[in-house]
Amino acid sequence: MKKPVAIITGGSRGIGYGCATHLAKSGFNLVIAGRRPERDCADALDALRTLGADVLYLICDVADAAQRNSLVSETLKRFAQLNILINNAGVAPKVRNDILKAAEEDYDFVMETNLKGPYFLTQAVANELVKQKQADPNFKGCIVNVSSISATVVSTNRGEYCLSKAGVAMATQLWAARLAEYAIPVFEIRPGVIATDMTSGVKAKYDSFIADGGIPLRRWGFPDDIGRAVATIARGDIPYSTGQVIMIDGGMTIQSL
């Protein structure tokens, strides 16, 4: 049997690479989409191949419609099938500004990549998944949106980021409702404080936050933590669920007195 195929946006480093690693271990072939030249990702891609995955790297800025369409068509050209989409690529605002001072260009930059891009990439992939399901009732596929606790946890110095993730949360439910008739589940993974390039500049802040008990499990999260959850969904290990949020935040968002 052919191995299932997963597209992972932003899959060459950070959370996306954690997802790619666990999908490769779970028997998936991979399409890694990113904005960097392939040579800059060569070591990461080779490591995935050593896990048994056939890996295709494609340049794709998810904010660009033509590149999104090319990502889907090149995936099908190479593998003749597509099973999983992991919407992981995301950006922070170029400048963290108080919402009283935030610039429209920062808002547009974040929304194009974090919300509009994944929404329409999901549309393109969903149509292909539906076609495959209609052709083969035994077809298995799913979509996973990697969001953030910022979907509900306020940061007034990066409001555009919070709004983009709140939009992803609603998009998850919309696509889950629309694709349920085809038995194609859609999930949202909501990470907390994860050690990646995006959080490296505020490491001291979060080290102190963790030490003070702000995260009940008292440690940073890692891309591996996210990858394990994504692989669980992709393998179909939660079959009677869709449209749900899976919190991977060390208990940070538990409400307590």
Q: What is the DSSP string of 196-243?
A: SGGGGGGHHHHHHHHHTTSSTT-S-B-HHHHHHHHHHHHTT-STT--S
Q: Is residue 241 part of a domain?
A: yes
* CATH number, domain containing residue 12: 3.40.50.720
Q: Return the structure tokens found at 194.
A: 């994860």
- Is 161 annotated as catalytic? yes
User: Residue 199: what pLDDT?
Assistant: 87
pLDDT 10s digits, 218-242: 999 999 999 999 999 999 999 999 9
Token code pair at residue 171: 């998009």
Rounded CA Rg of the chain:
18
In a domain, 205, yes or no: yes
Report the run of H or E that residue 34 belongs to, with start and end: strand 29-34
User: Is the pLDDT at 1 greater than 80, yes or no?
Assistant: no
Does residue 91 belong to any structural domain of this protein?
A: yes
Asked if the structure places residue 211 within a domain, the reply is yes
The pTM of the full predicted model, rounded to 2 decimals, is 0.96
pLDDT at 201: 84
Which has more pLDDT, 131 or 199? 131
By residue range, what is the domain housing residue 141? 5-248
- Please check whether residue 253 lies inside any domain of the structure: no
C-alpha 98/C-alpha 13 separation (Å) is 29
Catalytic residue among 107, 161, 206, 240: 161
The answer to whether residues 21 and 44 touch, using CB atoms and an 8 Å cutoff, is no
Does 138 reside within a domain? Answer: yes
Residue 255 is assigned to a structural domain of this protein: no
Sheet architecture: strand order including 5-9: 55-59, 29-34, 5-9, 84-87, 142-146, 186-191, 245-248
In-domain check, residue 153: yes
Provide the number of structural domains found in the chain: 1
Is the CB of residue 167 less than 8 Å from the CB of residue 87? no
For 198-224, the pLDDT digits (tens) are: 888 889 999 999 999 999 999 999 999
